[in-house]
Amino acid sequence: MTPRAAALLGAGALTLPLWPAPWLGVLVMSGVVLALTVLDWRLAVPPDAVEASRDGDRAVRLGDTATVSVWLHNTSGRPLRGLVRDAWVPSAGARFDFPGAPKVRVEPGARVELPSRLTPTRRGDRPALRLTLRSYGPLGLAFRQRRERPPTPPWTLRVLPRFESRRHLPEKLARLRVIDGTEVARGRGQGTEFDTLREYVIGDDVRSVDWRASARRADVLVRTWRPERDRRVVCVLDTGRTSAVRVGDEPRLDAAIDAALLLAALAARAGDRVDLLAVDDAVRVALTGGAQSTLLARMVDVLAPLQPTLVETDFELVAGEILRRERRRSVVVLFTALEPGALGEGLLPVLPRLATRHRVIVASVHDPVLTDLTTRSPETVQDAYATAAAWRALGDRDRVRAALARHGVTVVDAPADRLAPMVTDTYLRLKALGQL
């Protein structure tokens, strides 16, 4: 029964003083309302006579809006008057977007579209939980209800990484073309592959002078170089407990994913092969680089559902996987946190093996809260303790950075919004210097 039936009973109760016997009035009134309710329930369209299906977007980038529609097909001979509830996980940000929602009316044999707008607040797979249909009778005194769990057919919206750093890609590609010599010049004296000879001009590195060729030409000639192509770039994402720390509004892992995508897009354009690993106490993602045209789409798809794991990262496993998979000398970019506990006990013992075979770059997100705490004037004892703790944390980071540098590791420590461009700047600088 519905609240309308209860209201009808209440209205009938006002007529009890007019009856010769109150019990007779209650009996008659209840019987009439019950009969009308049963009749109304029988006239309501059976929910099983309504076919439900879905259509719409399967993927959306974090921050954008997707549309997923529920289609209702009334196969009965009576009009459907009802309510529809399309339940998603809260982080999907779903809301109905049709007139009169959530009320719906479907004529016999007709199909109607009930679109939902979804603006997810988290990356990953956001599933639809259940679809509930409530069918009312023509008097609105009773209803029938059906709840589908999971919905028919099952539907999951994949929320892709935001990838805000893609706005930096045109500027990085322009710098890459300068380094490669396809736009401005041939990058005098840089790189590791011989390109051509040309006449010496003031400012050239004298170490690039080709004395034998100069003797034959009776002129001073210098060698020009171009950066090597077909290098291997390995992006390693630490998905352990330190990647779950929130820096700003998002976990540290999201900033690392953003930087890895920008680096992969740039390195692929440079003709380098890009591999991807995501590791904590197990290998979560292992992607081997393929065609340049599909690499970025594949990376975005496999990284979308990746979430931090609250375990300690096994850097012995990380080093072993890199050494096993990458036989040739490669550029290994490790996205992790500059924490003395995690790196001092885990990474530093295995770093000599790794740095001997590969060029290692450690990229870390710098938490601006630490810097803010060191610049404040403490007003209470708690503030003084917080400031002292911040100074100690920054000192520990400096010691870790110095220990990594002693092994020839390049460290990039930047805020979340600057990590991606700084990592690519480091890659371009090493490429220009021929140190990859």
The pLDDT tens digits of the residues spanning 164-216 come to: 999 999 999 888 888 776 433 444 445 555 567 788 787 777 777 888 888 88
Q: Over range 408-429, report the average pLDDT.
A: 91
What confidence tens digit (pLDDT) does each residue in 123-132 have? 999 998 888 8
Q: What's the length of the chain?
A: 436
Residue 178, classified by CB atoms within 10 Å of its CB into exposed (0-12), middle (13-18) or buried (19+), is middle
Are 51 and 75 spatial neighbours (Cβ–Cβ below 8 Å)? yes
What is residue 47's predicted lDDT score, i.e. its pLDDT?
86
Q: What is the pTM of this model?
A: 0.78
Q: Over range 151-162, report the average pLDDT.
A: 82
What is residue 373's predicted lDDT score, i.e. its pLDDT?
79
What confidence tens digit (pLDDT) does each residue in 382-410 have? 878 888 888 888 888 888 888 888 888 89
Q: Over range 35-53, report the average pLDDT.
A: 85
What confidence tens digit (pLDDT) does each residue in 348-359 have? 888 888 888 899
Say if strands 359-365 and 410-414 run parallel, antiparallel, or are unpaired. Answer: parallel
> Given a cut of 80, is residue 25 above it in pLDDT?
no
Two tokens at 351? 């770093």
Percent pLDDT > 70 in the chain is: 86
- 153 cis-preceded (ω within 30 degrees of 0): yes
Tell me which of 4 and 360 has the higher pLDDT.
360
Q: What angle do CA 109, 114, 116 make, to 5 degrees?
A: 165
In the beta sheet, which residues pair with residue 285? 278
Are 272 and 229 spatial neighbours (Cβ–Cβ below 8 Å)? yes
With the CA atoms of 238, 244, 247 and 249 taken in that order, what torsion angle do they form, in degrees rounded to the nearest 10?
Answer: 130
What confidence tens digit (pLDDT) does each residue in 207-245 have? 778 888 888 877 888 877 665 556 889 999 999 998 988
**Amino acid code (one letter) for 309:** T
Segment among 36-40, 178-182, 325-329 with least mean pLDDT: 178-182
What confidence tens digit (pLDDT) does each residue in 373-383 have? 778 777 788 87
Residue ranges of E strands in 94-248: 94-96, 103-106, 111-118, 124-136, 143-148, 156-160, 193-199, 221-226, 232-238, 246-247
- Sign, Cα dihedral of 254, 256, 259, 263: negative
Q: Over range 133-151, report the average pLDDT.
A: 81
Average pLDDT in the chain: 83
- Sign, Cα dihedral of 263, 269, 270, 276: positive
| Top-confidence range, 3-7, 66-70, 324-328 | 66-70
Largest separation between any pair of C-alpha atoms in the chain: 133
**Enclosing H/E stretch for 364:** strand 359-365
Q: How confident is the model at residue 148 (pLDDT cuts 50, 70, 90)?
A: confident
Q: Give, in order, the Cα–Cα distances in Å from 380 to each of 74, 102, 324, 371, 384.
A: 68, 53, 53, 18, 6
What is residue 184's predicted lDDT score, i.e. its pLDDT?
38
What is residue 308's predicted lDDT score, i.e. its pLDDT?
93
